[in-house]
Structure 1
Amino acid sequence: MTNMKTYRKLVFCLLFGGFLAFLPMAHASADNSRYFVKSTKGFWKNALGVRHNFDNGFTTDASDFQLRLAKVFGVEIEPVAILQILPGEPTVTSDTDSDSKISPAFSSDDSDIVSPKISAPKSIKGKGGTIRYLPSDQTPWGIETIYANSAIETTSGGLGINVAILDTGILVSHPDLARRITQCKDFSNFRYPVVDGKCDDKNGHGTHVAGIIAADAGADGKGLYGVAPQANLFAYKVCGTNGSCYADDIATALRMAADEGAKVVNMSFGSDQESSLIRDAVDYAFSKGSLLVAAAGNDGPFPDSIDYPAAYASVVAVGAINQTKSVTDWSSRGINSTTTPWIVENRDVELATPGEYIESTWNNKGYAILSGTSMASPFVVGLAAKYWQSSASASISDQLLATRDYLHFLANDLLPLGDDDASGFGLPQVK
């Protein structure tokens, strides 16, 4: 009798598992809901399908019906958090459309953060008759501010330092970025969890961030310069064209960046809500010696408006300043005034850098101006790459901490004086 019960149970499980496994195919294209299944059992992985594996479970794009059936068997399931990229609308600078704003590419709540219109830039004919767009300024005001030099013509630094950019992808053919990209991966593809060699940017945000960090003016020297033009870039696409980013894709990319030797990681996205998947990945990357930098958010000027993952003490949270070196009203604030001065704690803003009307590379091989803390964060990343504290005798963790301390050393206090909610240690500049 016992053998018969066992047999029936086995048959039911096999049929049930086969039934569940049949459904995801029709579901994936119709509904992009993502779930975290808190089980490591192979049965549920086979039945529901696995997108990403984690220590305490896996994520899946299974249907609601499948998940309801799984819950009947006591499996704990929760939705995967969705984060957003953080700037407002861009002004694209190209000969064909100098004043158009591509708002559909952005789904941020901060639509009031817009860019000024600028005149069409000059362009020249490159090899083979191709059009080479030129920036309005090879070293825009943000670079002048970071380098503390209004007459600067070129930048330098970052040689041999790997920088991972978790974003909407990067236009790898942009003349100012083509020589900098050493890895290109897509974590946002709905069909495959990771696609190597593919990181196309149909949004523009990631390409813009990359230029701030490491644009090298191109082989012809006529393009735009970033903070650290000799750095190596890992283009990790974790966000879709609409600017939405699943937490499990971010977490997987963050872990891979650390494993692949990224010294610095930029995260110009955020959410009001914490994600355990990202929190665990942040802890992992930090333990591997990666310096993590993130946009504070665009929800200011309200106290304690900082977004995750910037709100973690192990992440450098960056606010935005304008050309008068004042923190913008929309830049998110931390709780520095209620925590220990000059000690980075959870929900503290750590630094503030240029984030308003920032010109950088765009996904049409030209340039665009954006505003947001998304633009401020990469300035800090570039400085970290430029001044990475390498030492043969120091552990990777010690190098990380020394580099972070050096960023504090480079910082000049901003008003209001002290470790304030808006700018923390202040504005870091080249010395």
Structure 2
Amino acid sequence: MLRRRRPWAAGVLVALSVMVAAPAGAADVREDQHWVLKALNVEQAWKVTKGAGVTVALVDSRVDGHVAELRGRVVSGPGMGSVTSENGPAEAWHGTAMASLIAGAGKGGGGLLGTAPEARILSLPVVLLRRNGDQSTLPEEDQRTGADSPLARAIRYAADHGAEVVSMSLGAYGPHRAEREAVSYALSRGVVLVAAVGNDGSSDYALDNATSFWNFPAGYSGVIGVGAVDSGDRPALFSSDNLSVLVSAPGVDVPVVTPGGDYGASEGTSAATALVAGVAALIKAKYPNISPHLVSQALTSTARSASAAGYDDHIGFGVVDAGAALARAGELISRTAEVPAPTGEHFGPGLQHQEPARPGPDPVRLWLYGAGLLGGLLAFTGAVVMLSRRPELTAPAPARHAEGRRPWP
């Protein structure tokens, strides 16, 4: 059965969160987001690192880097195919909100904190917030058609310009070859890719079939697909449920910073994705050379609130635990590290192993071989001499006839 697709979704990248009621002020937003930080156990991870030195590429709408929580830590890259027809707060809402969840550093005694408050943001504008109900799309000329895709260009740019993590709170139905190749390219360069699984959990198709239509880039192999849970670690009703869901994070009424420095709240798998991207940045900050698949393993093997079976397609392997994931990443790194063998030493008691003799001629065998060969030559020569000295055979004497007798005529 094919999903009944909405017109805005066919081949178009879509932002995956909406804005809900806003918290009051800087002091209140810190209190309002306390449950989010506690759910992810980020304060335990912050004892080790807060993400300093790591760049997170945010593939989204543009980011307002002048807000206090992000000031001085946002670099804007070139547009990846989006057209910004209006240069106002609405156009930058989604990107600014997601950036604050990744790298918000608070302000004064309050303000919003992201999961990696010392990380940097590389803003790669892709999605135009053109209002169509509660959704946003790229303009007509930038749809995912042909041999290229704005998302593919963004992923490659991020991989080539120092990003260790790429956060993608967007998606479209159906895979695209250029995007798949860009994902493989980024993974080969050690870049961790995090993407939202989508907000189709309560769609007619999901209710009828007990599964949601796949969303990309979350559906590509190697990408960490993120679902959303509420404050009770229950799967959000809107969060898509399918096998692209790897882990989950808070995505219901999550406080965010909005353009101009105000505060709001986001609801959707977008917010959950940005939070997990920040946790991935913490791991990369502590272990810069860790591979993407080990980051994924660290997140999944320590996630909490998983089902009895260990996995289900609503919350994946569970809700991300930043402190536990950071510790597990260290264990995984130590297991895969090569241990150099010390020169002149060996493991365990006993004599040092003697190096085997180098291959070469064996004197004893050579002597025996030579003696045998010489003996054979002497025997052969003797036989020839003996045969050459054998006495000649004499001719037989003529027969004599009896005296007085003639031979028979």
TM-score category, normalised to shorter length:
0.5 to 0.7
Taking structure 1 as the reference length, what is the TM-score of the superposition? 0.62
Question: Is the contact made by 2:25 and 2:263 (CA closer than 8 Å) also made in structure 1?
Answer: no
1:277–1:174: structure 2 CA closer, same or farther, 3 Å change rule?
same
Instruction: State the partner residue of 1:287.
Output: 188
The structure-2 alpha-carbon separation of the partners of 1:374 and 1:154, relative to structure 1 and needing over 3 Å to count, comes to: farther
Cα distance between partner residues in 1 of 2:260 and 2:84: 26
The partner residue of 1:170 within 35, 41, 63 is 63
Aligned pair partner of 1:313 in 207, 218, 221: 221
Deviation at 1:86, TM superposition (A): 1.0
Correspondence for 1:387: 283
Indicate conservation of the 8 Å contact 1:293/1:377, yes or no.
yes
> CA–CA distance in 2 between the matches of 1:327 and 1:167?
24
Query: Which residue number in structure 2 is paired with residue 244 of structure 1?
Result: 137
Structure 2: how far apart are the matches of 1:191 and 1:203?
Answer: 10
- Please show how residues 195-274 of structure 1 align to structure 2 within 5 Å: 202-218=91-107, 220-242=108-130, 243-245=136-138, 246=142, 247=144, 248-274=149-175
Deviation of 1:288 (Å): 1.7
Deviation at 1:138, TM superposition (A): 6.8
Q: Does 1:369 align with 2:270?
A: no
Q: What's the C-alpha RMSD, in Å, of the aligned pairs?
A: 3.0
Contact map agreement 2:20 2:253 (CA 8 A) in 1: no
Q: Is 1:142 paired with 2:142?
A: no
Task: With the length of structure 2 as denominator, give the TM-score of the two structures.
Answer: 0.65
CA deviation map 1:235-256 (0-9, x unaligned): 1111112121344222111100
1:420 and 2:312 matched: yes
Give the conservation status (yes or no) of the 8 Å contact 1:164–1:266: yes
C-alpha displacement of 1:189:
4.7
Deviation digits for residues 208-231 of structure 1, max 9, x if unmatched? 11111110013x343111101011
Corresponding residue for 2:78?
A: 185
- CA distance, structure 1, for counterparts of residue 153 and residue 39 of structure 2: 34
Partner of 1:405: 297
Unaligned runs of 5+ in 2: 1-9, 131-135, 325-409
1:323 aligns with 2:227: no
Report if aligned partners of 1:176, 1:224 keep a CA contact under 8 Å in 2.
Answer: yes
In the other structure, the counterpart of 1:6 is: none
Tell me how far 1:330 sits from its aligned partner: 1.3
**Aligned partners of 1:162 and 1:262 also within 8 Å:** yes
| Fraction of identical pairs, as percent | 28
Deviations 1:15-67 (A, max 9, x none): xxxxxxxxxxxxxxxxxxxxxxxxxxxxxxxxxxxxxxxxxxxxxxxxxxxxx
2:168 corresponds to which letter in structure 1?
Answer: M
Aligned amino acid, residue 224 of structure 1: L
Q: Does 1:297 align with 2:198?
A: yes
CA separation in 1, counterparts of 2:312 and 2:218? 16
Deviation at 1:179, TM superposition (A): 2.8
> Which stretch shifts more, 281-290 or 244-253?
244-253
Which residue is equivalent to 1:29? none
Per-residue Cα deviation, 1:338-381 (whole angstroms, up to 9, x for no partner)? xxxxxxxxxx3100110001001111311111110011111111
Q: Does 1:84 align with 2:14?
A: yes
SS of alignment partner, residue 426 of structure 1 = coil
Amino acid in structure 1 at the alignment position of 2:103: A
Cα distance, 1:293–1:191 mapped onto 2, change above 3 Å: closer
Structure showing greater relative contact order (alpha-carbon pairs closer than 8 Å, 6 or more residues apart): 2
SS at match of 1:409: helix
Query: Match of 2:252?
Result: 356
1:126-163 C-alpha deviation (Å, 9 max, x unpaired):
xxxxxxx963637432112112779x999951111110
Q: After superposition, what is the alpha-carbon deviation per residue over 1:53-83, rounded to whole angstroms, capped at 9, x for unaligned?
A: xxxxxxxxxxxxxxxxxxxxxxxxxxx9321
The Cα of 1:182 is off from its aligned counterpart by 3.4
Paired residue type of 2:200: D
Structure with greater strand percent: 1
Unmatched 5+ residue regions in structure 1?
1-79, 94-117, 124-132, 193-197, 336-347
Does structure 2 conserve the Cα–Cα contact (< 8 Å) formed by 1:203 and 1:363?
yes
Q: SS of 1:271's equivalent?
A: strand
Distance 1:418 1:238, change over 3 A: same
- Alignment correspondent of 1:61: none
1:408: Cα distance to partner?
1.9
Q: CA deviation at 1:401?
A: 2.4
1:157 matches 2:50: yes
Name the aligned partner's letter for residue 319 of structure 2.
L
Q: Is the 8 A contact 1:214 1:231 kept in 2?
A: yes
- Where 1:210 maps in the other structure, the secondary structure is helix
Give the structure with higher Rg (CA).
Answer: 2
| Counterpart-to-counterpart distance in 2, 1:191 and 1:85 | 15
Closer, same or farther: CA 203–425 of 1 in aligned 2, 3 Å: same
Q: Letter of the aligned partner of 1:408 in structure 2?
A: T
